[in-house]
Structure 1
């Protein structure tokens, strides 16, 4: 199992009619500028420790947060590759870390496994109260999302006028390749039938969670549809098409900063919100490709270049 996908599988709540394995995020009003801390607290020596999950995309995002705050004169440290939320949330509570890039849907599911919110706005709103119980807060979420998606080849999309998930009825019967749990999860085969009425599907389990084997099966036409994550560099490299999801079968998974209340300042909030205002899914694909692809750039280098390009440092 690909380590990038392990973090999702570890969060999966089987049988929910939700999007990919989700985990919760929230806090006080993310638009609020109020804080128990002042900017002077940071200036006087309070250190912000930025954490990350144990996979490359999260480390890249952690580097972006770290470098942006450092450029603002905030005293910062890094503590990356920590592990799943069962480790990162306690670390935020005990002060081992103060800030981490999160995924709004996965974060909400961590706090509420039966949540019904699907859109970015609704998930973000629910997170405010959800994370407040742990004295945490979320800030503005980014447009950027990393979540499951129904994907087809460009040829299949063009030949059959496929734009949305529901359009898959035009190619029934077909084979769909995805991780083994996809056959039972609410956003997988059951949700495809219940939400979009697409039922004549042969499910083909593939163990790599949207990785190279899944991509190869799709490109080779061993399967006609595949579950591939929206920041996979293969989407660009293989010119694949992500089908739109107008019924929000798959809940939002926007990148969102999660910070401890006692570490928050207006200065930090403004810096992180500026990042979220610029960060797109396409940016994440390009950043991952630089780090995980042939270039093998460091997360730090990729983050520096992105921040510089966006005028944030």
Structure 2
């Protein structure tokens, strides 16, 4: 089921981008097709290319459909740079982005500036301000109440044998360990470089690049790697075979997810703000880890997982 979904999502994304190249696929009354049919405006929702983004995209899309919108999905677009470009070019009307990621990867915020943002609220307000100053302007809505920060994890037998509980411990033992990572984490200023700068001595004996999140976890549990990088809301982190290491220095910004909407679309459809915020209000770290785990571990479809959550929260009732 999961492979079938990923292949279909990739095909949909490629087709959607091809169509968008011929004209403006987003915005207000424009767009349409490829989604739920309502009698309200047509909205195009995008997402990045990992499980949590698929789930978030479906949650927001289905909530809008329940309120009469026609929603086209362009999920699995790729990295934040690709999703952001689609937003700026009008190929999509909104997608979920993380506050810290927006500042680090999209809005040209320096590390020195980030040092002054010591609360989730301050991080969000700065991201919201910078989005609003763009041309065309974007609006970052209210974030969900969870921090999808990086999670550095170690196989439990390795952690116990070498006494690894924190990133400081990891730096001391890293020379003998294999690290399962992905290319974006290695390249981003808040990723591997950030770890090395703040935890001196961190230098793994072997670095294995696996851009698929599931392969990184599987590589560690199957003893092809010892350490991996994921996210704190990954369902795999419920496993007793893994230990999530403590970041004692707090080296990462806050990564709270929120819909980033084209401001002109929001002005035309102001009811979107209440609908999307109502979805975000139902989410926390435990809920999101459960939803992600149902997709990654139980092989459920993101659309089905999203539907069940929204039904339980009463957000699919027609209004």
Give TM-score, length-normalised by structure 1. 0.70
**1:99 lines up with 2:102 in the alignment:** no
C-alpha distance after superposition, 1:63-93 (max 9, x if no partner):
100122233x242312223624455334434
Q: Which stretches in structure 2 are left out of the alignment for 5+ residues?
A: 1-5, 7-27, 29-37
**1:52 lines up with 2:55 in the alignment:** no
**1:69 lines up with 2:72 in the alignment:** no
C-alpha distance after superposition, 1:232-261 (max 9, x if no partner):
332224542222324332333221111121
Cα shift at 1:223? 4.8
Task: Report what 2:35 is aligned to.
Answer: none
Distance 2:223 2:81 in 1: 39
CA contact (8 A) 2:98 2:255 kept: yes
Q: 3-state DSSP class of the match of 1:202?
A: coil
CA contact (8 A) 1:176 1:204 kept: yes
Q: 3-state DSSP class of the match of 2:250?
A: coil
Farther-moved stretch of structure 1 (150-159 vs 120-129): 150-159
C-alpha spacing 1:267/1:148, structure 2 compared with 1 (3 Å): same
Q: 3-state DSSP class of the match of 1:143?
A: coil
Task: Report what 1:229 is aligned to.
Answer: 231
Task: Report what 1:121 is aligned to.
Answer: 121
C-alpha distance after superposition, 1:102-157 (max 9, x if no partner):
22222222121635426533331221222111311001112334443221234555
Q: Which stretches in structure 1 are left out of the alignment for 5+ residues?
A: 4-36, 38-42
Q: Does 1 or 2 have the higher relative contact order (CA < 8 Å, sep 6+)?
A: 1
Q: 3-state DSSP class of the match of 1:151?
A: strand
CA contact (8 A) 1:174 1:201 kept: no
Of 130, 140, 146, 1:144 maps to 146
Q: 3-state DSSP class of the match of 2:61?
A: helix
Cα shift at 1:231? 3.5
Distance 1:87 1:189 in 2: 21
Task: Report what 1:302 is aligned to.
Answer: 305
Spell out the pairing of 1:150-189 with structure 2 (5 A cutoff): 150-157=152-159, 163-168=165-170, 171=173, 174-179=176-181, 186-187=189-190
CA contact (8 A) 1:174 1:224 kept: no
Distance 2:248 2:279 in 1: 27
**1:89 lines up with 2:84 in the alignment:** yes
The count of aligned residue pairs is 273
CA contact (8 A) 2:49 2:77 kept: yes
Give TM-score, length-normalised by structure 2. 0.69
Q: CA RMSD in A?
A: 3.7
Q: 3-state DSSP class of the match of 1:149?
A: strand
Q: 3-state DSSP class of the match of 2:253?
A: coil
**1:278 lines up with 2:272 in the alignment:** no
Task: Report what 1:131 is aligned to.
Answer: 131
